């Protein structure tokens, strides 16, 4: 195929074509480690307000592209705008992270809308639409959502916890109710991603940041099956758009994604050995990852060696260079520049 979109290295890698140098983007590449983000963020009333203001989100998406020249830009938003659009109360406390009104029982679940309030999410679609023309021609545009399990775990606990224990306990005690919440999220997330694709996203990533806390049977039931259902729904309507799944912490269970039709790439966390991932996943699935965000904070030899090991480890496969989890706020900008120089020069 010679359609124009395959000229973008990021999309070519997602199509399974090994690139001479892997395309690069970094999870959470926009945000607090950038002074120019802190400056525009300080002017917003709240983080959600910022997320719902296209002038702000377009600018925040573009900032890391201008500074570093990444191969892909990711919509500036958050995975928790979906619970917000489903009618759950969501706030972000500075320095403390998200706070949601926890869903404690059937009554809490019944207060959710059956479908997201699309008007609330319109700013995200407008952001994507504007970015289509604002981005350099070779830079791809990524949309995203949280995976049903990860989003549900925040909806139940009302916040991040060390191991999302409240949602795990809830799922054991009330499997039917929890299943209904997961189903609601599968449908809402599929519609949300399709809307993002229609608005201009050329690929989408599904963040399952809490995949790693579940035992194998629950992992199958609450992570793998809902993800497969979500992917199938999106692919049925937008077959041409590649999907990246990021099951953080699921190193030993990656084989469960090997038969998942419609997943173009798997995002790998820091703990995954490249050769082990390659052995568990089919050759036409691209691999994305997985430099340790702390090596990026440290810089120096730790960073150079980390970059080289990632490049070397994934060399046999179609690879997208990324971190194993989101960039940390204390990351020095010079260290991000170092990644670009070393990967592009390698």
Name the β-bridge partners of 245: 206, 266
- 3-class DSSP state for residue 163? coil
Considering the complex, state which of residue 78 and residue 317 has its C-beta at the smaller distance from ligand CP3.
78
Q: Which residues are catalytic?
A: 28, 32, 41, 78, 154
CB of 269 to ligand CP3, least distance (A): 10
Alpha-carbon span 336 to 346, nearest angstrom? 15
- For residue 321, which of 7, 13, 22 has the smallest C-alpha distance? 22
Considering the complex, state which of residue 48 and residue 286 has its C-beta at the smaller distance from ligand CP3.
48
Site for ligand CP3 in 181-240 (CB under 6 A): 207, 209
Considering the complex, state which of residue 283 and residue 329 has its C-beta at the smaller distance from ligand CP3.
329
CB of 144 to ligand CP3, least distance (A): 5
DSSP labels, 235-272: HHH-TTS-EEEEETT-GGGGGGGTT-TTEEEEE--TT-
Within 10 angstroms of residue 2's Cβ, the number of other Cβ atoms is 5
Total residues in contact with ligand CP3, by rule CB under 6 A: 22
Strands (E) located in 160-299: 203-208, 243-247, 263-267, 286-291
Q: Which stretch binds ligand CP3 (CB under 6 A): 76-84, 110-118, 220-228, 260-268?
A: 76-84
Site for ligand CP3 in 27-46 (CB under 6 A): 27-32, 41
Considering the complex, state which of residue 191 and residue 208 has its C-beta at the smaller distance from ligand CP3.
208
Q: Where are the alpha helices (DSSP H) in 15-117?
A: 35-42, 47-51, 54-68, 81-85, 106-110
Of the candidate residues 12, 79, 185, 228, the single one contacting ligand CP3 (CB under 6 A): 79
x-marked contacts with ligand CP3 along 105-144 as a string, rule CB under 6 A: ---------------------------------------x
Half-sphere exposure (Cβ direction) of 27: Cα atoms closer than 13 Å: 31
Q: Which stretch binds ligand CP3 (CB under 6 A): 75-83, 109-117, 211-219, 266-274?
A: 75-83
| Phi, psi (deg, nearest 5) at residue 317 | -120, 165
**Site residues (vs ligand CP3, CB under 6 A):** 27-32, 41, 47, 74, 76-80, 92, 97-98, 144, 160, 207, 209, 326
């Amino acid at each position: 195929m010679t359609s124009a979109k395959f000229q973008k290295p990021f999309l070519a890698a997602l199509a399974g074509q090994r690139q001479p140098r892997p395309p690069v983007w970094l999870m959470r590449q926009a945000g607090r480690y950038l002074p120019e983000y802190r400056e525009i963020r300080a002017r917003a009333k709240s983080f959600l307000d910022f997320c719902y203001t296209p002038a702000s989100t377009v600018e925040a998406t573009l900032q890391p592209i201008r500074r570093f020249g990444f191969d892909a830009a990711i919509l500036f938003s958050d995975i928790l705008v979906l619970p917000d659009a489903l009618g759950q109360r969501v706030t972000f406390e500075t320095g403390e992270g998200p706070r949601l009104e926890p869903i404690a029982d059937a009554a809490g679940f019944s207060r959710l809308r059956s479908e997201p309030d699309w008007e609330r999410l319109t700013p995200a679609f407008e952001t994507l639409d504007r970015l289509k023309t604002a981005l350099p021609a070779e830079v791809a545009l990524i949309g995203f959502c949280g995976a049903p399990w990860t989003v549900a775990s925040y909806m139940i606990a009302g916040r991040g916890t060390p191991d999302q224990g409240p949602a795990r306990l809830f799922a054991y005690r009330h499997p039917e109710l929890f299943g209904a919440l997961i189903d609601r999220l599968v449908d809402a997330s599929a519609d949300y991603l399709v809307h993002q694709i229609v608005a201009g996203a050329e690929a989408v990533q599904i963040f399952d940041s809490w995949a790693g806390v579940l035992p194998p049977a629950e992992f199958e039931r609450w992570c793998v099956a809902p993800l497969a259902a979500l992917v199938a729904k999106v692919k049925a309507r937008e077959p041409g758009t590649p999907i990246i799944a990021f099951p953080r912490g699921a190193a030993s269970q990656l084989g469960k994604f090997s038969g998942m039709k419609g997943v173009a790439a798997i995002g790998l966390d820091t703990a995954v050995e490249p050769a082990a991932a390659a052995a568990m996943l089919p050759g036409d699935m691209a691999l994305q990852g997985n430099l340790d965000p702390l090596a990026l904070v440290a810089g120096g030899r730790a960073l150079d060696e980390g970059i080289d090991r990632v490049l070397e480890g994934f060399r046999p496969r179609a690879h997208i260079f990324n971190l194993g989890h989101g960039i940390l706020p204390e990351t020095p900008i010079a260290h991000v520049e170092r990644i670009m120089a070393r990967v592009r020069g390698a």
